[in-house]
Amino acid sequence: MARASTSANRRNDIVAAAIEVFAEIGYYRATTAQVAERAAISQPYVYRFFTKESLLVESLTVSWKRIVQAFQAVIESAAPEELETGLIRAYEEIVQSHRSEILLQMQAQTIQEVSIREAMQQGMNEVKDLVQNAFVKAGFGDADKKTSDFLARGMLCNVAMAMDMPNMMPVR
């Protein structure tokens, strides 16, 4: 049992290192050797768990899961009139505390490999559906438009953060 736990921890260490390396260098320029170095393990140990592509897919899955969990927590606790503001705050916290994950998602938007595109589509669809269902349940009249506007504001927030242009941040 301890061995399985250690393997799971090392797997998480590898993913955390990959998120940082891919966000800093870019997926195509980064190597699994750089990920291994960042995780303080050997490159063959990385390959025990991942190929480079599957490592990016897992990294994206982790980043989308963080957003979904943060949004679910807001949806479960916020009053309808505080829902949108709560979601915005939750996302702002993620952008500040997990900047590399957001940069990674932004880069992955342009990658054409099927598995990576599917991971991005799945994550974005899950967030969209979660937010849209919450807006419908909260009684917002045009939940489709409100969801689209919310996601667009999030994308603008990402660009402003990536370009270090806080003056571009959407106003609440």
- Helix (H, G, I), strand (E, B), or coil: what is residue 112? coil
Q: Are 27 and 107 in contact (CB under 8 A)?
A: yes
SS3 annotation, 9-50: HHHHHHHHHHHHHHHHHCCCCCCHHHHHHHHCCCHHHHHHHC
Q: What is the pLDDT of residues 3-58, one digit of tens each?
A: 555 878 899 999 999 999 999 999 999 999 999 999 999 999 999 999 999 999 99
Average pLDDT over residues 139-156: 94
Number of Cβ within a 10 Å radius of residue 13: 16
**pLDDT beyond 90 at 108:** yes
Average pLDDT over residues 63-85: 97
Tally the residues of the chain: 172
Spatial CB neighbours of 70, under 8 Å, sequence gap ≥ 6: 90, 91, 93, 94
Kindly indicate the confidence band of residue 167, based on its pLDDT and cuts at 50, 70 and 90: confident
What is the topology classification, in CATH, of domain 52-168?
Answer: Tetracycline Repressor; domain 2 (1.10.357)
In the chain, where are the structural domains located? Answer: 52-168
Q: Report percent pLDDT > 90 for the chain.
A: 89
* pLDDT for residue 168: 82
